[in-house]
Structure 1
Amino acid sequence: MNPSPPPFAAVLVDFDGVVNLWDPDGMPALDRAAGLPEGTLAAVAFEPGLLEAAVTGRLTDEEWRARVADVLAEACGSADRARALVAGWSAPTGRIDTDLLDLLTALRARVPVVLVSNASTRLESCLAARGLAGSFDAVLNTSRFGFAKPDPRVFTEAARRAGVPPQRCLFVDDTPAHVQAAREAGLTGHHYRGIGQLRDAVAPLLR
Structure 2
Amino acid sequence: MHTPAPTTGARPPATAYDAVLCDLDNVVRYYDLTRVTALEQAAGLPEGTTAGLAYDPGLDLPLLLGRITPEEWAEAITAGLTDRVGPERARELGRAMAEAPSRADETVVALLRRVRERVPLVLVTNATLRLHDDLAALGLGDLADHVVGSAHEGVAKPDPAIYRIAAARAGVRVDRCLFVDDRQENVDAALALGMTGVLFREPADLHGPFGFGRTDGRTGGG
Could you tell me the TM-score, scaled by structure 2's length?
0.83
1:10 aligns with 2:19: yes
Establish whether residue 161 from structure 1 lines up as the match of residue 169 from structure 2: yes
Mapping for residues 9-88 of structure 1, pairs under 5 Å: 9-23=18-32, 27-78=36-87, 80-88=88-96
Indicate yes or no: 2:74 matched with 1:93: no
d(CA) in 2 for partners of 1:14 and 1:20? 9
Amino acid at match of 2:103: R
Aligned CA RMSD, in angstroms, stands at 2.0
Instruction: Give the residue type in structure 2 aligned to 1:70.
Output: A
What displacement does 1:23 show? 4.7
Higher relative contact order (CA 8 A, sep 6+): 2
8 Å contact 1:142–1:154 — kept in the other structure? Answer: yes
Which residue, out of 102, 121, 125, partners 2:129?
121
Unaligned runs of 5+ in 1: none
Residue 31 of structure 1: how far off its partner (Å): 1.6
Contact 1:93/1:126 (CA < 8 Å) preserved in 2? no
For the 8 Å contact 2:124–2:148, the answer to whether it is kept is yes
Question: Which structure shows the higher helix fraction?
Answer: 1
More deviation in 144-153 or 39-48?
39-48
Distance 1:51 1:84, change over 3 A: same
> What are the superposed Cα offsets for residues 57-100 of structure 1, whole Å, 9 maximum, x if unpaired?
1212222122111222222212x322211222233332211011
Indicate if the aligned counterparts of 1:113 and 1:162 stay in contact, CA closer than 8 A.
yes
How does 1:173-192 map onto structure 2 within 5 Å?
173-192=181-200
Using the alignment, how far apart are the partners of 1:69 and 1:181 within structure 2? Answer: 33
SS of match in other structure, 1:119: coil
Change (3 A) 1:33 1:89: farther
Query: Which whole-Å CA distance do the structure 2 matches of 1:125 and 1:188 have between them?
Result: 30
Aligned residues between the structures? 201
Aligned residue among 140, 144, 147 for 1:132? 140
The CA distance in 1 between the partners of 2:109 and 2:31, in whole Å, is 16
Q: For the residues of structure 2 that align with 1:112 and 1:14, how far apart are their CA atoms?
A: 14
Structure 1 residue 40 displacement after superposition: 1.8
Secondary structure of 1:198 counterpart: helix
Offset, 1:29 = 3.8
Residues 174 and 193 of structure 2 are in contact (CA less than 8 Å); yes or no, is this contact kept in structure 1? yes
Query: How high is the TM-score relative to the length of structure 1?
Result: 0.89
Q: Distance in 2 between matches of 1:186 and 1:33?
A: 49
Query: Structure 2 regions of 5+ residues with no counterpart?
Result: 1-12, 214-222
Per-residue deviation, residues 129-174 of structure 1 (Å, max 9, x unmatched):
1211111111111011111110000110110111111101000000
